[in-house]
Amino acid sequence: MTAPDVINIGQKLGTFSDHWNPRIIGNYNGNEIRVAKVEGDFDWHSHRETDELFLVISGELGIEFRDGTRRFGPGELVVVPRGTEHKPFAQKECQILMMDREGEPNTGANPSDLTRVKLDTI
């Protein structure tokens, strides 16, 4: 067995500039490690059967929940429990890493114009 590749998150984020279009940078135990650049508002959505992890690489991310808003910055993360409605947003560009179950739509159970049917692997 060969040693695994080292993934440089900054290099991966440098390969694209669009917002709300996650890219897959790795897989583990049936999950995808995704990176994205975000700015503005995302849609309200939930993931019925899986938790979702958001880790801020740079900038500030906010997530609205039905009972309040959380804001967090570089090096901070939030795990959104399965079934919890949430709406991410960023007032300025923010770079994030997310962990989702393989094949889980980025808009969960709520398809919209922001839904990415197939995510690119970079």
- pTM for the predicted model, two decimal places: 0.92
CA atoms within 13 A on the CB side of 32: 20
Look at residue 25 and tell me if it is in a domain: no
Domain total in the chain: 1
Sequence letter at residue 70: R
Instruction: Identify whether the C-beta of residue 9 lies closer than 8 Å to the C-beta of residue 97.
Output: yes
Look at residue 28 and tell me if it is in a domain: no
Look at residue 12 and tell me if it is in a domain: no
Q: What is the CATH number of the domain that holds 48?
A: 2.60.120.10
Look at residue 61 and tell me if it is in a domain: yes
Token readout for 73 is 């910055």
- The predicted pLDDT at position 72 comes to 96
pLDDT by residue for the chain (122 residues), tens only, comes to 899 999 999 999 999 999 999 999 999 999 999 999 999 999 999 999 999 999 999 999 999 999 999 999 999 999 999 999 999 999 999 999 999 999 988 888 788 888 887 899 99
Domain that holds residue 78: 35-105
